């Protein structure tokens, strides 16, 4: 019988039945996020970890090396966050067809939470700079007016946004504003990690 090998998403060491190796587990205890944030249009956002050290490295590998196998491990920790009751889940859309780490997380997390995931409920209507290439001040304006929500899907719904990292919350705010404009009742967000500046 064939057994698929599992690896720690933080250091790459082989693991057996766990989501993370013992060494990284001890480091993660120091990176637990205890804060909840909010924006003008997003009632709250949360994440299990602070975006630094091994968490940052794992996220960068996931995003830029297209490590889809990390999704289940990441979602396991995201499920430990306090999550309100929602009608549907959406993800941060991309302008061009490419690997979307937020979408990959949303596909797994929505099944675990038994919330219907609408991949096309949001569209990115214009090309912008990648947020990770922008300075902090530029991130706050880079995505202004860049998203549009499908009114037929989001109207009168409580919506959970799924993302991988929340650094300035500007992406979450712009998406929440688009959802509210399309008639969403309530918007929350969850990510795998968030900045410790909140």
Which residues does 60 contact at the CB level (< 8 Å), separation at least 6? Answer: none
**How many domains does the chain divide into?**
1
Instruction: Name residues of the chain where pLDDT drops below 70.
Output: 1-4, 127-144
Long-range contacts of the stretch 124-131 (C-beta < 8 A, 24+):
124/93, 124/94, 124/95, 126/95, 127/95, 127/96, 128/95, 131/167, 131/170, 131/171
pLDDT, tens digit, 9 for 90 and up, residues 90-112:
999 987 788 899 999 999 999 99
In the prediction, which pLDDT does 94 show? 85
In a domain, 22, yes or no: no
Could you list the residue range(s) of the whole structural domain that residue 43 is in?
Answer: 33-194
Nearest to 52 by CA among 8, 1, 10: 10
At residue 125, the pLDDT reads 80
What is the CATH number for 90? 3.40.50
pTM, to two decimals: 0.90
Residue 2 lies in a domain: no
Q: What pLDDT does residue 113 have? A: 96
- Quick check: is 79 in a domain? yes
Of 44, 5, 17, 22, residue with least CA distance to 190: 44
CA-only gyration radius of the chain, Å:
16
Q: Is residue 18 part of a domain?
A: no
């Amino acid at each position: 019988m064939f057994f698929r090998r599992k690896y720690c998403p933080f250091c790459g060491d082989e693991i057996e039945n766990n989501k993370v190796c013992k060494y990284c587990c001890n480091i993660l205890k120091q990176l637990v996020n205890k804060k909840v944030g909010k924006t003008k249009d997003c009632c709250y956002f949360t994440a299990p970890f602070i975006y630094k050290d091994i968490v940052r490295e794992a996220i960068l590998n996931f995003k830029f090396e297209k490590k889809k196998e990390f999704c289940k491990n990441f979602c396991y920790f995201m499920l430990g966050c306090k999550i309100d009751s929602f009608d549907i889940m959406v993800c941060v859309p991309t302008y061009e067809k490419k690997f979307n780490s937020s979408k990959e997380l949303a596909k797994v997390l929505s099944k675990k939470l038994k919330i219907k995931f609408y991949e096309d409920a949001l569209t990115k209507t214009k090309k912008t700079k990648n947020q990770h290439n922008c300075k902090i001040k530029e991130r706050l304006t880079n995505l202004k007016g860049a998203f549009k929500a499908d009114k037929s899907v989001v109207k009168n719904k409580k919506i959970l946004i799924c993302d991988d990292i929340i650094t300035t919350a500007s992406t979450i705010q712009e998406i929440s504003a688009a959802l509210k404009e399309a008639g969403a009742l309530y918007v929350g967000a969850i990510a795998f990690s968030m900045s410790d500046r909140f």
